Amino acid sequence: MSKLFRAVIMGPPGSGKGTISERIAHSFGLKHLSSGDFVRENIAAKTEAGIQAKTYIKKGLLVPDHVMTRLMLPRLEEMTKYSWLLDGFPRTLAQAEALYSACDLDVAINLNIPLETLKERLRHRWIHPPSGRVYNMCFNPPRVQGIDDITGEPLIQQEDDRPEALVARLRHYKDVAKPVIDFYKAKGILYTFSDTETDLIWPNISTLLSTKIPAIQSDARCASTH
């Protein structure tokens, strides 16, 4: 049995984390774990942590560290047989430290995208809040404008994706992410990728992971069929 592989991916809103995560999962047989999905599942299941998270989200507040770690870590600790890529967690240094104590991480991928590119992408971004599905009107539009492909429900543009809120949102991300980036850099597992297009970043990420994930792909796919 080859060693399991665990990675996290970080990047500001609009950096293409979701797209790159899906490509990594498909190409290397990893499970793509989204913190947003975990939060929605816990809210739907009315777990104690899910109920707590919902009270913050309804007020438009970020879910605090102690609630996020209670949502995330038990699920990750259950996944002892799988290699995975975690998207959307950790967001803060406290979350990063809690995750590192609970799980052996191999790689932290950091997406560094120019501000103007992020502003342009987010200007065209619409979401389906119940599922978290994200559309971009330029390169990933819904089949019917303004309508979710799967449910037929309306899409919305988040208030904080609007231009006037965006710069403050990105500045806040940078302030919170810097200690996390420095933490992984000190651990020797940080890999930063910079460019304006996902298709230009992807080959470099793929090359890195090809050297880091020997024989995991087939093992993970076998495990996922049982």
User: Would the annotation count 90 as a binding residue?
Assistant: yes
Q: Is the pLDDT of residue 226 over 70?
A: no
Is 61 labelled as part of a ligand binding site?
yes
80 appears as a binding residue in the annotation:
no
Residue-wise pLDDT for 66-120, tens only, equals: 999 999 998 898 888 899 999 999 999 999 999 999 998 999 999 999 888 888 8
Say if residue 225's pLDDT is above 50. Answer: no
166 annotated to a ligand binding site: no
Average pLDDT over residues 14-33: 92
Residues in Cβ contact with 37 at an 8 Å cutoff, skipping those fewer than 6 apart: 132
To the question of pTM greater than 0.85 for the whole model, the response is: no
The two structure tokens encoding residue 69 = 């770690």
Residue 198 annotated as lining a ligand binding site: yes
The reply, when asked if residue 82 is annotated as ligand binding, is no
According to the model, what pLDDT value does residue 3 have?
A: 75
The response to whether 134 counts as a known ligand-binding position is yes
14 annotated ligand binder: yes
Tens digits of per-residue pLDDT, 167-181?
A: 888 888 999 999 999
| Six token digits for residue 36 | 């947003």
Its CATH architecture, for the domain 6-114+166-212, is 3-Layer(aba) Sandwich (3.40)
Question: Is residue 55's pLDDT more than 50?
Answer: yes
Q: How confident is the model at residue 2 (pLDDT cuts 50, 70, 90)?
A: low
- HSE value, Cβ hemisphere, 13 Å, CA-based, for 76: 28
Q: Give the model confidence (pLDDT) of 104-160 as tens digits.
A: 899 999 999 988 888 888 888 899 988 888 888 887 899 999 999 999 999 998 776
C-alpha triplet 166, 200, 219: angle, nearest 5°: 105
Decide if pLDDT at 218 tops 80: no
118 is in an annotated binding site: no
The β-bridge partners of 86 are 8, 33
Whether 193 has a binding-site annotation, put simply, is no
Q: Is the distance from CB of 119 to CB of 168 less than 8 angstroms?
A: no
User: Is 95 flagged in the annotation as binding?
Assistant: yes
Alpha carbon distance, N-terminus to C-terminus of the chain? 15
1 pLDDT exceeds 60?
no
122: annotated binding-site residue? no
Q: What is the pLDDT of residue 57?
A: 87
Does residue 31 contact residue 85 with C-beta atoms inside 8 Å? Answer: yes
89 annotated to bind ligand: yes
163 annotated as a binding-site residue: no
pLDDT of 7 reads 97
User: What is residue 117's predicted lDDT score, i.e. its pLDDT?
Assistant: 87
pLDDT of residue 96: 97
Query: What one-character DSSP code corresponds to residue 158?
Result: -
Q: Is the pLDDT at 41 greater than 80, yes or no?
A: yes
Residue 135 annotated as part of some ligand binding site: yes
